[in-house]
Chain A
């Protein structure tokens, strides 16, 4: 109960409180404190879980997502304190939009946690919808031409996706109706899963197509990915970190839940091949697109599409090992990508631009930012000794025995993106110094925390963690 109040109640109360506080320092502190309390609350779930109720459900699967969500939410709030301070000084944000920013930040965290904890598929949908709307407002916060264009595009594509997901949700209810009967029971996870074997398979298949298209839009799967690079590039960088690190995962979680439901219904189609196809398409296309990027935040946005492709591929291949690999890859990607965005945010502030052509020799001019960026890119490219090497190795080795040809295509995508990222990194981090060289007050603690976790996971995965993830993976079938 306390944990639930901390994870859900505190962000909601903080959002309300922060919408009245104008002082920058005070709101940054409240924001950080509220996020910390949520994170601490999410850890309490590890020790003691609330009994599954009509509204909330904490089980072995979503607890991984919840803890990750609250952790990245907390570290991003620390990063955003310094970042937003700089934006205020440079006049890109006004004090009025600042109040809005902090309130929306907490509201967004609340919506994402709610989507993860919700036991009711209707409630989950509403939470994802509200999370989308709050991020739309954040993306458009700078009010530049590009930001408004990006926010509008995100809004239109995101809303259509979410609407299709709602249609799918209604179809699931309709499939459950003859078996479970009327009322809220027909939307409750536990009830749906227990009776799924009696559902009409044809109706469930149709529902899954809508859910895959709908939530897939929010995961950023090709060809519904068009909103993602714009939204990442034009919004404030903390939001890019949260979008990549958390919101994509929330949509993925929703999809996984329905995948479990389909797996429990014997006559229904196997969701695997559909997910594999979309995953491969995303990985390959995004890897190719990486080569033509000129904007640094867009570069890493496309890298997120590529990574989500790998993750969806891995869950599509499934099997105990495939699911474990998918979960691990998702966790590592969230941590690494948000660390990269933290560095990139500071770099873009120093250089006054996001164009990569105007950046160079970062390791020389800003050793701290330069080297953390190098470490982050090496990690995201899947090189040892970082955790993404372990997880990508698991993805490839687990899928190779099941689908060798498809795995070969995936590996091609991995190599392509590896090449593109290292090519870009060489120009940005090394070589002659280009652009502004003013010193920067970087909030380095969040970057180091994330990178240290990813590095530790690469060197040594603690057995309890592996056992935990294995158990979560076993739920995915």
Chain B
């Protein structure tokens, strides 16, 4: 059993690592590639959970994660970047040192918060939930530090991956729920795609600074 736990923790840890990688990517194509890696690790982590929990329905979740989060969405993002003609653009992320430091602080925070309160829970879920919370929080940090709409989307998708990890770690979570969550992520992504094109159409850029000029009552 020990090895099974260790591999589950290693995969969850790798997701946190991939989230930290997301934090300092300053090229959109690189950002999407890291997101692809993030989705791939998620699929592996969920598949491994399916194996050690001997829950065959989780393999379905893993397959969905692989298909949607590692293949379809990053692929679609690549095409959006291509069609919007922003594949060369470099976006500023702010001070990398400071952002990374904040990211590490978030990991520490989530371990500090989640480990004590889950003392009574299943040991595998316990670590998984704690690491999943770090992925969620780093996802938020990615969204905050980005000036570009696509950067925010990448942060949001990594945040969703973190929640998926938490759901897979919770033993026996009904499959219906996971399926509908995956479905709604897909719908959300379609909405994102539509709006990215509309933003581009109206503002000639997906830099959010351009949107902010139109905010509120500054007209």
Contact = CB atoms under 8 A, between A and B. Distances in A.
Q: Do A and B bind each other?
A: yes
Interface of A: 120, 122-123, 125-126, 129-130, 133, 136-137, 140, 143-146, 148-149, 151-153, 155-156, 159-160, 163-164, 166-167, 170-171, 173-175, 177-178, 181-184, 186-187, 200, 202-203, 205-206, 229-230, 293-295, 298
Contacts of A149: 211-212, 214-215
B95 interface: no
A206 to B, nearest CB: 5
Nearest to A201: B117
A146 B195 contact: no
A146 B203 CA distance: 11
Interface of B: 113-114, 116-122, 125, 129, 132-133, 136, 140, 143, 149, 152, 156, 159-160, 163, 166-167, 170-174, 176-177, 180-181, 184, 187-188, 191-192, 194-195, 198-199, 202-203, 211-212, 214-217, 219
Contact of B184 (A130, A200, A298): A130
A328 B125 CA distance: 42
Contacts of B118: 174, 203
A144 B214 CA distance: 10
A391 to B, nearest CB: 30
Nearest to A186: B172
B170 A170 contact: yes
B198 A187 contact: no
Contacts of A146: 214, 219
A451 B136 CA distance: 45
A125 B120 CA distance: 25
Contacts of B121: 174-175, 177-178, 200, 203
B181 A166 contact: yes
A202 B116 contact: yes
Contact of A163 (B116, B120, B136, B152): B136
A72 to B, nearest CB: 25
A173 B125 CA distance: 12
Given A123-B180, A133-B184, A174-B129, A163 B174 contact: no
Contacts of A183: 172, 174
A15 B104 CA distance: 46
Contacts of B176: 122-123, 184
A177 B125 CA distance: 11
Contacts of A152: 149, 195, 199, 211
Nearest to B203: A145
Given A166-B163, A171-B129, A184-B176, A148 B202 contact: yes
Interface class of chain A by DSSP:
helix
A174 B184 contact: no
Nearest to A175: B121
Given A174-B170, A181-B172, 8 more contacts: A120-B174, A123-B176, A136-B191, A137-B194, A148-B195, A159-B188, A164-B136, A170-B163
A177 B163 contact: no
17 contacts: A122-B176, A122-B180, A123-B177, A123-B180, A133-B191, A136-B191, A137-B191, A143-B198, A145-B211, A153-B215, A155-B191, A156-B143, A160-B140, A166-B163, A174-B125, A203-B118, A203-B121
Given A152-B211, A159-B188, A140 B195 contact: yes
A11 B127 CA distance: 43
A148 B120 contact: no
A155 B196 CA distance: 12
Nearest to A129: B184
Nearest to A234: B214
Nearest to B195: A152
Contacts of B125: 174, 177
A177 B171 contact: yes
Contacts of A122: 174, 176-177, 180-181
B202 A143 contact: yes
Given A137-B191, A187-B177, A173 B152 contact: no
